[in-house]
Amino acid sequence: MSGAGPIGVAVVGAGTISDQYLPNMAGYPDLDVRFVADLRPELARAQAERHGVAGHGTLEQALARDDVELVVNLTVPSAHAEVAAAALAAGKHVFNEKPITSDLASAAALIEQADAAGLRVGCAPDTFLGPGLQTARRLLEAGAIGTPLTASVVFQNPGPHRWHPNPDFLYQPGAGPLFDLGPYYLTALAQTLGPVTRVVARGAGAGPTRTIGAGPRAGEEIPVGVPTFVAALYDFEAGAVAQATFSFDSKLDRQGVVEIAGTEATLVAPDPNTFGGEILVHRGEGEPESVPASGAEGGRGIGAVDMARAIRAGAPHRADGRLGLHVLDAMLATEASIGAAGFVEVASRFELAPPLPEEWDPAERTL
């Protein structure tokens, strides 16, 4: 492995999300995507050819390459732990798509394995590294709203069965609105308010089945195995309280709501499932102040860029595995609270990384 220059990357998992990561990372000169791997080698080959990547094949072939330092793990959530552990055992750093794994024990084991080997684990979502949420973070730290007191986040729509041709997994344990979209909103809250300490939640659902609305299976009924409406209250270590709504049951499509109220004003942040956006600061009189997002927008994969630069510099990276573990912990505690009908503690913690400099640009060559 080289100790200088761009970081050699292998993408593992050539499914739909790779169509976002691969073209993005091709435009980030501090990353050099050298291999695409998948359980289906023909899919790996097709994606490699489509996106101009020279190497393709199996996970084992990817991990055997000396020119690969970082594995970007885009497999299904149930495979995150196994693939990441194999990559770490092969001496590679790992950036996992969200969630970091499907359970706390395997997530903690990954971090312990990485620490023991002197390697790193990163985790999506990296949307919080975009200029939208980074600008919001800098405003909060500059005291734009005074002391943050409360927050509200909302994601609601009629559900992905309307448009997804194979939505079965989105209505089963490990998904639903909490685990599918929750990581974006809870990461945004954690990055502005700090660690969650406890949660109380309720869950409900519109019925035991959904009918697929698009694609070759249109009209087919699928079972629902998770709450499709989740309402939660989160306590934060710094003293703030947030309320959250995650729903696949609303005919009113309302999403991207992140509002943080402080002693002096209320800040409206951009959609946490995007990288840019406008910030509004309401002071209770007159028109709200509009603050444009400051910085280069980028897209999915900028967490791997920050990670690559941190690896070369020997500095902490921001989309850290401990943050991913904490968000997973908060979601699992939310799920447990629904069953327990009471508060559930969130034991994990993470170190809040400093905001990115305004001039940070993933498309700049720095290595």
Other CB atoms within a 10 A radius of the CB of residue 139 amount to: 22
CA angle 110, 59, 105 (to 5 degrees): 20
Strand extents, DSSP E, the chain: 7-12, 31-37, 55-57, 70-73, 93-96, 121-123, 148-156, 196-204, 209-211, 221-223, 229-236, 241-247, 254-262, 266-269, 278-282, 289-292, 344-345
List the structure tokens of 164. 């997804």
Q: Using one digit for the tens of pLDDT, what is the confidence trace for 138-170?
A: 999 999 999 999 999 999 999 999 999 889 989
Arithmetic mean of pLDDT over the chain? 96
Please, which pLDDT band fits residue 236 given cuts at 50, 70 and 90?
very high
> In Å, what is the CA distance from 136 to each residue of 196, 211, 282, 284?
19, 39, 13, 19
Q: Which residues contact 289 (CB under 8 A, 6 or more apart)?
A: 280, 281, 282, 283
CA angle 254, 257, 262 (to 5 degrees): 150
- pLDDT of amino acid 303: 98
Which domains does the chain carry?
A: 7-123 (3.40.50.720), 128-292 (3.30.360.10)
Statement: residue 187 has pLDDT above 50: yes
Q: How far apart are CA 278 and CA 293, in angstroms?
A: 6
DSSP lists the bridge partners of residue 281 as: 267, 289
- pLDDT of amino acid 154: 98
Statement: residue 355 has pLDDT above 50: yes
Statement: residue 3 has pLDDT above 80: no
Q: What are phi and psi of 209, to 5 degrees?
A: -140, 160
- pLDDT of amino acid 82: 97
Please, which pLDDT band fits residue 28 given cuts at 50, 70 and 90?
very high
- pLDDT of amino acid 297: 87
Q: How far apart are CA 147 and CA 260, in angstroms?
A: 10
Statement: residue 293 has pLDDT above 50: yes
Q: Using one digit for the tens of pLDDT, what is the confidence trace for 99-128?
A: 999 999 999 999 999 999 999 999 999 999
> In Å, what is the CA distance from 280 to each residue of 20, 283, 290, 298?
29, 10, 5, 22
Q: Using one digit for the tens of pLDDT, what is the confidence trace for 57-96?
A: 999 999 999 999 999 999 988 899 999 999 999 999 999 9
Across the range 304-332, mean pLDDT stands at: 97
Q: How far apart are CA 291 and CA 280, in angstroms?
A: 6
Please, which pLDDT band fits residue 1 given cuts at 50, 70 and 90?
very low
- pLDDT of amino acid 4: 82
% of residues, the chain, pLDDT over 90: 94
